[in-house]
Amino acid sequence: MPRFSDQVLLITGAASGIGRAATLKLAAEGASLFVTDVVAEGLEETVKAASEAAAASGGRIESKVTDISDETQANASVADCIETYGKLDTLCNNAGIIAYFNTDEMAFADWRKILSVNLDGTFLMTRAAIPHLLETKGAIVNIGSTAGLAGLAYGAAYSASKGAIHAFTRAIAVEYAGRGLRANSIAPASIDTGMTRPTKMPDGADFALLNRLASLHGPAGPDRVADLILFLASEDARHISGEEIRIDGAALA
């Protein structure tokens, strides 16, 4: 019997990187998947890549283009998942964005944008999902970052959003523990995805400051984080809640 047979999982940010890697692994393990992203094309590619494995394992995959920072879309996404499958066992809040600025020059709109996707989006999806997760005594897996545990130079908004995700996860874990809901967060670093590829840096950026948070084992593929998402969503993790797990190649050890 595949590990995720009869399990319904909703994953945000599934069009690429870690979200796609988790989708592919879950599809091979019998899961019923509801995958979402704001990028329609990438989302379609993920569904295409996962469909064969899902069919072979007895799983299913459905998708919906969703901007998690939009309250109406976030609510509709969870509602569609419930309409499709009748229940929800795990919500994985994985979607996120990053951009680098000298903080003293950063526009308020840029700050708000990062906080609205990473933090507001995580809240909106979680709020919509909680009533359904309480029915299944389900789980939440939030993707934070080592940048939420230590300072990421030029990434103040990203760091703030990710630190808040870890704090938010602990609050949920405590608040709903008595009703059987588990909530954990993951703090990755140096995962080779679109997010870590060369990007615009602010003038005068000191790369030594950025390298403080780099993995001491070099970069890793998104599969490594996907394995941890599956573990935290699985029965094997049934006594783990309120935890934040670094997967950072000893960067913050």
Ligand X SMILES: NC(=O)c1ccc[n+]([C@@H]2O[C@H](COP(=O)([O-])OP(=O)(O)OC[C@H]3O[C@@H](n4cnc5c(N)ncnc54)[C@H](O)[C@@H]3O)[C@@H](O)[C@H]2O)c1
Q: Which amino acids are annotated catalytic?
A: 158
Instruction: Give yes or no for a contact between 233 and 136, defined as CB atoms under 8 angstroms apart.
Output: no
Closest CA to 28 of 1, 50, 6, 61: 50
Instruction: Give yes or no for a contact between 114 and 161, defined as CB atoms under 8 angstroms apart.
Output: yes
136 lies in the binding site for ligand X (CB under 6 A): no
Residue with smaller CB distance to ligand X, 82 or 149: 149
* One character per residue 175-214, x = contact with ligand X (rule: CB under 6 A): -------------xxxx-xxxx------------------
Least distance in Å: CB of 179 to ligand X? 27
Residue type, 45: E
18 lies in the binding site for ligand X (CB under 6 A): yes
Least distance in Å: CB of 208 to ligand X? 18
143 lies in the binding site for ligand X (CB under 6 A): yes
Which of residues 7, 12, 57, 241 is near ligand X by CB under 6 A? Answer: 12
Tokens of 8: 């319904």
**Rounded Cα gap, residues 153 and 33, in angstroms:** 36
**Each residue of 15-52: b (16+ CB within 10 Å) or e?**
bbbbbbbbbbbbbbbbbbbbbbbbbeebbeebbeebee
Number of residues that bind ligand X (CB under 6 A): 32
Least distance in Å: CB of 180 to ligand X? 26
Closest CA to 222 of 190, 188, 192, 184: 192
Q: Nearest residue by C-beta to ligand X?
A: 17
17 lies in the binding site for ligand X (CB under 6 A): yes
Residues of this chain that bind ligand X (CB under 6 A): 12-13, 15-19, 37-39, 42, 66-69, 94-97, 117, 121, 143, 145, 188-191, 193-196, 222
